[in-house]
Structure 1
Amino acid sequence: MTLVPAARQIRFNAFDMNCVGHQSPGLWRHPQDKSADYKTIGYWTHLAKVLEEGLFDGLFIADVLGTYDVFGGSNEVTLRAGTQVPVNDPFMLVSAMAAVTENLGFGLTAGTAYEHPYPFARRLATLDHLTNGRVGWNVVTGYLPSAARNMGQTDQMEHDERYAHADEYLEVVYKLLEGSWEEDAVVKDREAGIFVDPAKVHEIGHEGKYFKVPGIAITEPSPQRTPVIFQAGASKRGTEFAAENAEAVFVTCPTKEMLAASVKKIRDAVEAAGRGRYDVRIYAMQTVVTGPDSATAQAKFEDYKSYADVNGALALISGWMGVDLSSYGPDDVIGENVKSNAIQSSVETFQKASGEDGKPWTIRQLAEWVGVGGFGPITVGSGEEVAKKLIDWVDETDVDGFNLAYAITPGTFEDIVEFVVPELQKRGAYPTKYAEGTLRNKLFGKGDRLPEQHRGAGYRLGAAVSAS
């Protein structure tokens, strides 16, 4: 049995969304799937307790503000298949889940395109207070044209401009959360009748290309001040953004070779930005189908595949790529000349995808693959078999862990906790207890606040006061 050093134990996140089906279009029809209960508190509190039992780092909740209407130029297929619609707000879920757990983190997706950073910074701080420092923010710039139209725009900003806009958005958030209130500004002096010392609260005076925010933050410092920054963009510009800001990065690569190259690219960029090579936790998307033995797991997988909605999968892929795949035949392949204003890394990944014969995947093959668990790899087997395969992925790619999508929910996660986690623990490849403190300290063991070499630390109060 191969033992993994404790310093490099595998990390798990659960990947979900406040909707039906998330990454497995059509599987809401499976008799054991409960994703249609996403509207209930009980669904989320049960899931949170399952994940905490399995010592997951967190629950990563995706989000979109529009429908996938690129495929066929309509959202008809999307609505019929329940492809990430209807979808509710992820932020509303956290307080209930935090109330029934003590250690589980919550990575919340929120875009920089449609909400002003001033009230958004307050929402982040509020949840960081209520969870005692267990919140992360997955920074996205948006990619669905339907979201842009419903927010009064004709389309998304161009890809690279979205990141320039996001750079300034984060600057405002950093200034508010790191550079407005001194640590001891809240004095609560009952005798003097002073709750906050005004001399210790400072205006940020921000005036940039996209935002003007002159005043103070209206929240006192939370346990982490700035929640853990998550990011998922893998394009050239997205990697630059991650190198400066991200503390956890999610990647989606169908093969070990592609994942190893992506991980190296991110770590090189982080190091070039003046940070430590391993100052970022990298999670690869993966779907696990498991059970007490190999035959049971394989039977589950075949059962799940029978419920997959191919058109729903094509609607997802079209939205990710910004390319209408309804104009392709099922045996066509995605050409090299595709231009995208959506998720550019998705286009690159889909173009490179190939089968064991080395031939590029056809549109039909892509849809069948995405039908169960999205575009990440699928690992099928007993708990022991899955554990060995996941250890191999980490050893061969330098990834830190996995962002686990589901085929059915909460069944996929319950199976992982029951069958895979104990096998990883036997091999010393998985934690046996949570670290203390906030989400940031649990991830890195270096305290609750942003490290000095992180971009956000440059906006801390000392620097802001001296500049003013």
Structure 2
Amino acid sequence: MSDKKRLILNLFEMNCVSHITHGLWRLPGNNRDRFNDIEYWIRLARLLEDGGFDAVFLADVIGTYDTFRGSADTSIREGLQIPNNDPVLVVPAMAAVTEHLGFGITFSTTYEPPFAWARRLSTLDHLTKGRVGWNIVTSYLPNAARNFGLDGEVDHDTRFAKADEYLDVLYKLWEGSWDEDAIVEDRERNVFADPEKIHPIFHEGDWFKVEGPHLTSPSRQRTPVLFTATASAAGTTFAGKHAEVVFTGGPTTEFLQRTIAGIRQAAVDAGRRADDVRFVTTAGVVVGRTEEEAAAKVAEFQRLSSPEGYLAHAGLNWDPYAYPPETLLGDVPGDKDSRWRVSDPDKTVGEFLAGFGDITRHPLFVSGTPEQVADRIERWLDDVGIDGINLLQYHSYATAEDFIELVVPVLRARGRLRTSYDKGESLRQRIFGAGDRLPDRHYGTRYRGGANLPERGKGLE
């Protein structure tokens, strides 16, 4: 039995044309424009399961990127996450044609109420036999706030405080509302479920008031695998309390390591173990049978990559193209920071622009032969300290096909990927190897069996 850390392998997807590799939807044979077709998702699911992927990780936004140049025009022209569809609705189609592939679904806690989301996710956990996870986000786009009736973006730390209560409501519904033996299925007495074992939750908080009970019976995992995407201070505290898998990143591997260490400490502070949390980051992999073949692919990707798409995605509130490239950032009025980097006033506009659209500047990027790619992935696991990757797609489906054909066999031979699935395992069992349910030390389990649920009109004791 190998004691090497096994890679958590996900494909990074979004129900749109241009997700995170802007401009590349134009590549010959790319299927990105087929995202509206159910056949696209069915073929993708079968491909990933045949290739041994753990899950497909589905990103989402609920607004447009409309800060760059003062409008959403750049995003709309480039198909940059608009149009985009609901990620939840493609999961049943993919689940129906697979037995093992997991699904990480992004959903925001900021604008939609928790009761309906609890039911949707429990339903998916039933239908997939425990193969779903939830990527908890709080939504950062100002347009998202306006789409849900607000004048502007909700303050960052307020979003996380609201998310914390959102999770509390969901734990009460998922973990506490139904006892394990509530369903009796007694045909002779015409009793399907025992009402004494199904509990309203009577939640009353700062943002939500939910009576319950949960409308869905306990699913295999009850609470789906909990992902968060964060690197902020408030997000670190939140992740330490709630997250099982953290999807994180940063400008350097050193930054990533500091984030990992901080969240592990936050988990310990929340009464959990440091290794209760796994860490997954975006990774760019371009592989060829030879170095020259891989380099040719990179060159083609670079040729079509769109700097303007990346500028719009970064939420830049100024236009670098409006200034001569030799202009110092310190001489440009206003805030020049982006979502991805802090500006240096001594750098020029040209130097600032240099990184946008360059796919090789990602801190976890590798191009080369299968052995070279596997070497780098092993270093990410052992030296950087991550547990898995969300594989960037430069071409759909060629990125996944290349990885499956060329890299997967090498990683399997080195003990970094399983050679087959364990039949019937849930997503949580696959990732942690410790059963289908949240471990007892997780905060969400405090409501099991109806414990700590208030009576009507009473708060928690």
TM-score by length of 1: 0.91
* 1:394 has 2:381 as partner: yes
Q: Which residue, 192, 204, 210 being the options, matches 1:213?
A: 210
* 1:382 has 2:369 as partner: yes
Provide the residue aligned with 1:366 in structure 2.
Answer: 355
> Aligned runs of 1:225-244 on 2, under 5 Å?
225-244=222-241
Is the 2:374–2:411 Cα contact (8 Å) retained in structure 1? yes
- Which portions of structure 1, spanning 4 or more consecutive aligned residues, are displaced by more than 4 angstroms? 327-335, 337-340, 358-361, 373-376, 465-468
* 1:103 has 2:100 as partner: yes
* 1:409 has 2:386 as partner: no
Is the 2:343–2:352 Cα contact (8 Å) retained in structure 1? no
Provide the residue aligned with 1:351 in structure 2.
Answer: 342
Provide the residue aligned with 2:436 in structure 1.
Answer: 448
Provide the residue aligned with 1:297 in structure 2.
Answer: 294
> Aligned runs of 1:197-208 on 2, under 5 Å?
197-208=194-205
- How far the C-alpha of 1:461 sits from its partner, in A, is 2.4
Change over 3 Å in CA distance of 1:325–1:408 after alignment to 2: farther
Partners of 1:83 and 1:267 in 2: CA distance: 34
Provide the residue aligned with 2:457 in structure 1.
Answer: none
- How far the C-alpha of 1:187 sits from its partner, in A, is 1.0
- How far the C-alpha of 1:267 sits from its partner, in A, is 1.7
3-state SS in 2 of match to 1:39:
coil
> Aligned runs of 1:80-229 on 2, under 5 Å?
80-229=77-226
Provide the residue aligned with 2:408 in structure 1.
Answer: 421
Q: Structure 2: which amino acid aligns with 1:174?
A: Y
> Aligned runs of 1:305-316 on 2, under 5 Å?
305-316=302-313
Is the 1:228–1:440 Cα contact (8 Å) retained in structure 2? yes
Provide the residue aligned with 2:445 in structure 1.
Answer: 457
Partners of 1:141 and 1:222 in 2: CA distance: 25
- How far the C-alpha of 1:206 sits from its partner, in A, is 0.3
- How far the C-alpha of 1:110 sits from its partner, in A, is 0.4
- How far the C-alpha of 1:73 sits from its partner, in A, is 1.0
Is the 1:286–1:377 Cα contact (8 Å) retained in structure 2? yes
Is the 1:252–1:375 Cα contact (8 Å) retained in structure 2? no
Q: Structure 1: which amino acid aligns with 2:443?
A: R
3-state SS in 2 of match to 1:368:
coil
Q: C-alpha deviations, 1:347-404, integer Å up to 9, x for none?
A: 4x51289xxxx999933123123xx499553211111110001111111111111111
- How far the C-alpha of 1:405 sits from its partner, in A, is 1.1
- How far the C-alpha of 1:339 sits from its partner, in A, is 7.6
Partners of 2:361 and 2:21 in 1: CA distance: 6
Change over 3 Å in CA distance of 1:146–1:16 after alignment to 2: same
TM-score by length of 2: 0.92
Partners of 1:375 and 1:174 in 2: CA distance: 36
Q: Structure 1: which amino acid aligns with 2:405?
A: E
- How far the C-alpha of 1:417 sits from its partner, in A, is 0.7
- How far the C-alpha of 1:418 sits from its partner, in A, is 0.7
Is the 2:199–2:450 Cα contact (8 Å) retained in structure 1? no
Gaps of 5+ in 2: 455-459
Q: Which residue, 24, 43, 60 being the options, matches 2:40?
A: 43
Change over 3 Å in CA distance of 1:301–1:332 after alignment to 2: farther
3-state SS in 1 of match to 2:63:
coil
- How far the C-alpha of 1:314 sits from its partner, in A, is 0.5
Provide the residue aligned with 2:52 in structure 1.
Answer: 55
Change over 3 Å in CA distance of 1:160–1:339 after alignment to 2: farther
Is the 1:204–1:464 Cα contact (8 Å) retained in structure 2? no
Q: C-alpha deviations, 1:140-172, integer Å up to 9, x for none?
A: 000001111111101121000000010011111
Partners of 1:201 and 1:324 in 2: CA distance: 51
Partners of 1:462 and 1:333 in 2: CA distance: 61
Partners of 1:185 and 1:331 in 2: CA distance: 70
Provide the residue aligned with 1:280 in structure 2.
Answer: 277
Q: C-alpha deviations, 1:61-88, integer Å up to 9, x for none?
A: 0000111001011000111111111000
Matched length? 449
Provide the residue aligned with 2:21 in structure 1.
Answer: 24
Partners of 1:359 and 1:339 in 2: CA distance: 15
Q: Structure 2: which amino acid aligns with 1:456?
A: G
> Aligned runs of 1:65-76 on 2, under 5 Å?
65-76=62-73
- How far the C-alpha of 1:12 sits from its partner, in A, is 1.0
